[in-house]
Structure 1
Amino acid sequence: MPTSTRNYNIITDVNPKSYISEAYRTLRTNIQFSTIDNHIRSIIVTSPEPSEGKSTTITNLAVAFAQEGKKVVLVDADLRKPTLHHFFMKSNRIGLSNLLAGQFTLQQAISDTHIDNLSLICSGPVPPNPAEMLNSKRLEQQLEELKKMFDIILFDAPPTLAVTDAQVLSTKCDGVVFVLNSGKVKRDTARKAIDRLNHVNAKILGVVLNNKDRNKNESPYYYYYGPNDKK
């Protein structure tokens, strides 16, 4: 969708009773039950290519977790083309890039949102070395601090095939949710992107098939496939 006409409304906030909001709550539940042995606390959401709906998905997922009573922080780790500050009408002057550069403290980088239990860390100014920043020891340190403060940490990562950032970040988090735009992304493209994540031993929790045509007997808006589903 062109940026000039993009709708940044958060459907789980403005219309929580809609079937789309219910689909996001189903996604939340599927993630919670995606693993038995390990508690999922840090998750990245990515896609093969731009404009597949990853930022919309992660924003609504964050709200769904917050509505359940979880203390959630949403982190814009797309340091090349940030988006999340638009959803919450926040300034992007201070954020993750400043934090990782040592310019601000974690408390200074975290901002409240209008949604109870949901905090936001914007991306901050676009740096010259995003992949190096995300692969730094400082990010690992800040992630450990966030785990002391929040129940769920959600990272919006850049598209997997565009840059290495998502691969780097996936090695530091508990799992990855992969967003595919139904009818747009090619099978070979999706497979190549997943192969890149598998190459770094990322734990793929499942795949969201976004903008799937709704049939009467099918779940609306998207499907969620777990890692063991043969789709």
Structure 2
Amino acid sequence: MGVFKKKYRPDTETQVNGARLVTFVEPKHVISEQFRTLRTNIEFAGAALDKLQVVMFTSAEMSDGKTTVSSNVAVTWAQAGKSVLYVDADLRRPTAHSTFDLLNTRGLTTILASNAQPKDIVQKTFVDNLEVLTSGPVPPNPADLLSSARMASLIDWMRNNYDVVVIDVPPVMAVTDAQVLMPLVDGAILVTTFGKTLKANVQRTVETLRLTDTKILGTVQRVRGGKNDAGYGYGYGYGYGYGNE
């Protein structure tokens, strides 16, 4: 496994420049079709639930691609006519403002730490039907804010105002932020990268999700593509294995 770890250096491109929205820029690209298939599979996986409205995207480790997957799947939901809110709850390494070219002077942390109204903080994007709640200023106590009663009330507000809420949270193995949000969501998607993500960390992440009774809607495995992959570099596959063991 050490060989793989040397090949995969931390991916800072998304952190600096935001995720690449292939689903918006090239909706007919094969990668865009893969994201639409992911969306459909998530809907099928959630069909047995009482509701599938608030979906959390997480990973076991950093640089597994959860932000790219979550933002592109959110775009496909919006393109399908759903009213979508994308929430950047990765308060330590925020990226949504870069992805959607928005200001981040106010955001999720502003609402949680003050009396600001969500409708005044949420921002429209260049994607029809898609609005974004950026992270806001980085706080000293992310987990405390996310576990607050105000966060629970905010999720209720989201449910009442949008068809689908996509929440991007930090890796489960890195910090406790994702764990405190698990009781508030309808299901979770686990993103991994083939040849990088350690199997032991994936197993521990699945165990953590199950301890909180979080429905695992499936796993997305990101696979590095070849040089002719139009510059996007990865392919995406969806599986049910970890959710059904």
| TM-score, normalised relative to structure 2 | 0.87
Q: Which residue of 1 aligns with 2:31?
A: 20
Which has the higher mean CA deviation after the structures are superposed, 11-20 or 99-108? 99-108
RMSD of equivalent CA atoms? 1.9
Q: Secondary structure at the match of 2:220?
A: strand
Q: Secondary structure at the match of 1:210?
A: strand
Q: Which residue of 2 aligns with 1:36?
A: 48
Given that 2:219 and 2:242 are in contact with CA atoms closer than 8 Å, whether structure 1 keeps it comes out as no
Matched, 1:226 2:237: no
Q: Which residue of 1 aligns with 2:107?
A: 95
Given that 2:217 and 2:243 are in contact with CA atoms closer than 8 Å, whether structure 1 keeps it comes out as no
Given that 2:87 and 2:168 are in contact with CA atoms closer than 8 Å, whether structure 1 keeps it comes out as yes
Matched, 1:159 2:171: yes
The one-character-per-residue Cα deviations of 1:16-64 (angstroms, maximum 9, x if unpaired) are: 0011000100010011111324220001100011111000100000000
Q: Which residue of 2 aligns with 1:203?
A: 215
Q: Which residue of 1 aligns with 2:154?
A: 142
State the distance in 2 between where 1:41 and 1:227 align: 22
State the distance in 2 between where 1:87 and 1:195 align: 31
**1:9-158 equivalences in 2 (<5 Å):** 9-34=20-45, 35-158=47-170
Q: Which residue of 2 aligns with 1:2?
A: 12
State the percentage of identical aligned residues.
38
What runs of 5+ residues in structure 2 fail to find an aligned partner? 1-10, 227-233
Q: Which residue of 2 aligns with 1:193?
A: 205
What letter matches 1:91 in structure 2?
A: L
CA spacing shift, 1:229–1:45, aligned 2, 3 Å: closer
Aligned length: 226
Deviation at 1:179, TM superposition (A): 0.2
State the distance in 2 between where 1:123 and 1:7 align: 13
Which one has a larger percent helix, Structure 1 or Structure 2? 2
What letter matches 2:118 in structure 1?
A: L
| TM-score, normalised relative to structure 1 | 0.92
Q: Which residue of 2 aligns with 1:176?
A: 188
Deviation at 1:186, TM superposition (A): 1.4
